[in-house]
A = this chain, B = another copy of it.
Amino acid sequence: MATKRVGILTGGGDVPGLNSVIKGVVYRGYGLDFEVTGIRLGWQGLTHVNLEDPQSRARYILPLNRVNTRTIDRTGGTFLHTSRTNPAKMKSLPDCLKGKNFPVREATKRGVTSKVFDITSAVLKNLETLQLDYLIAIGGDDTLSYAARLDKEGFPVICIPKTMDNDVQNTEYCIGFSTAITRATDAIERQRTTVGSHERVGVFRVFGRDAGHTALYTAYVSSVRCCIPEYKVNLDKLIDLIISDKRSNPSNYSLVVLSEGAEWEGYKVREYGDPDAFGHRKKMSVGEDLSDEIKRRAGEETVVSDLTYDLRGGSPDFVDKLVATTFANMALDALVKKKHGVMTAIVNGCFALSAIPDPKLGPRSVDVEKMYNTDRYRPNYSAKLGMPIFLVRA
């Protein structure tokens, strides 16, 4: 088989396990006669690079081999760095493309509409100049949606899903999720002693604006109450449960985990501080708001703890290494069989190749009926027989 050239990039927020994918592709690719080229900073590596400028090329293009990827799987983050650039939704043109003509359309993000350029033609040009045959794109919804676009334009792409929120459609698991729960439960176990010693209510907030998987699974294995964006709880009832937990605990404390996007009936996110350049003010944390309500309504002291970037820091746990390594190898196996335009996935508990999710579907939500006890504001522990191992169906 003639040597094939495969590009690889990571987009969106980083998670532990990305480096296992990158190393896996390079090491297995070696045996399959694939030459692997790293595209740095996600799609930005294909939008901002000026391939004729050695400095720009050095910043954005990194040929990968066994020597420069040998140790990368020992740490989190992504060796190739990342960005949130989407070539179909560029707010402005990169310097090297200034003055050129690209299609323009209107795009709306968090309520703000703006004109955006679609510079796919430039991306395709760069892929051609780089003489790449395939691309492996690792990312969440946004990164993968553009990967689907490229594949439709005729450039063969394989996707690998990652996000600590585990909310990509068409797969039951995204790289980074297990490590995020590991970090969250570690933090709660560490802080449990201080909440208990002061006999307070511990309010833990975790990332998750649209989907509550991270809060829910943390609660599932830690045996605590939780609130998720998919279900609005009743505030009085929630506080009653929390206080009743505290009273019945011989150590006189209780804990609750909230998704960033959790709300109660009638809740309105409050804002504070000065508006930024886009007129946006900072949003009050729902954790602090709940804390205020607990103090006000129940007279109890609280500890509010924000578990944020720590959840995607550090090195990957066993499951993330296992899945990342397997996804990397599946991606190459697929390319060998001329498959593309698909996403490595776990479906019904097994490794699979899925369709790249349609961005219109939005993030995969928690199945409230199956997984959330709307009476006890807790995960639902019953009727798991037949469910895939991560308790969700793609």
| Complex contact B381–A70 (CB within 8 A) | no
| Complex contact A326–B182 (CB within 8 A) | no
A196 within 8 A of B: yes
Chain B proximity of A55: nearest CB distance (Å): 14
| Complex contact A249–B384 (CB within 8 A) | no
**A339's closest neighbor in chain B, by CB?**
B385
Which residues of B lie under 8 Å from residue A386 when comparing CB positions?
350-352
A10-30 residues at the B interface, CB under 8 angstroms: 10, 13-14, 16, 18, 20, 23-24, 27-28
Q: Classify chain A: how many residues form its interface, as a range.
A: 35 or more
**A189's closest neighbor in chain B, by CB?**
B74
| Prevailing SS type, chain A contact patch | mixed
| Complex contact A385–B220 (CB within 8 A) | no
| Complex contact A310–B190 (CB within 8 A) | yes
Chain B proximity of A33: nearest CB distance (Å): 14
Which residues of B lie under 8 Å from residue A381 when comparing CB positions?
24, 28, 325-326, 329
A234 within 8 A of B: no
Chain multiplicity (copies): 4
**A334's closest neighbor in chain B, by CB?**
B385
| Complex contact B351–A193 (CB within 8 A) | no
Which residues of B lie under 8 Å from residue A308 when comparing CB positions?
305
CB-defined interface of A282-313 with B at 8 Å, one 1/0 digit per residue?
10100010001001000000010110111011
Which residues of B lie under 8 Å from residue A273 when comparing CB positions?
270, 272, 284, 288, 292
| Complex contact B326–A384 (CB within 8 A) | yes
A126 within 8 A of B: no
Among B83, B182, B322, the residue within 8 A (CB) of A318 is: B182
Chain B proximity of A225: nearest CB distance (Å): 13
Which residues of B lie under 8 Å from residue A390 when comparing CB positions?
322
For the complex, give the distance between the alpha carbons of A188 and B8 in Å.
28
A82-B197, A306-B306, A318-B317 known; A73-B384 Cβ under 8 A: no
| Complex contact B309–A191 (CB within 8 A) | yes
For the complex, give the distance between the alpha carbons of A349 and B319 in Å.
14
A321 within 8 A of B: yes
**A295's closest neighbor in chain B, by CB?**
B276
Question: Knowing that A190-B313, A303-B309, A326-B391 are A-B contacts, what are 5 other residue pairs whose CB atoms are under 8 Å apart, sorted by A's residue number?
Answer: A191-B313, A221-B325, A319-B319, A349-B349, A351-B385
Q: Which residues of A contact B (CB under 8 A)?
A: 10, 13-14, 16, 18, 20, 23-24, 27-28, 41, 67, 70, 73-78, 81-83, 173, 178, 181-183, 185, 187, 189-199, 217, 220-221, 223, 249-250, 252, 270, 272-273, 276, 282, 284, 288, 292, 295, 303, 305-306, 308-310, 312-315, 317-319, 321-323, 325-326, 329-330, 333-334, 346, 348-353, 381-391
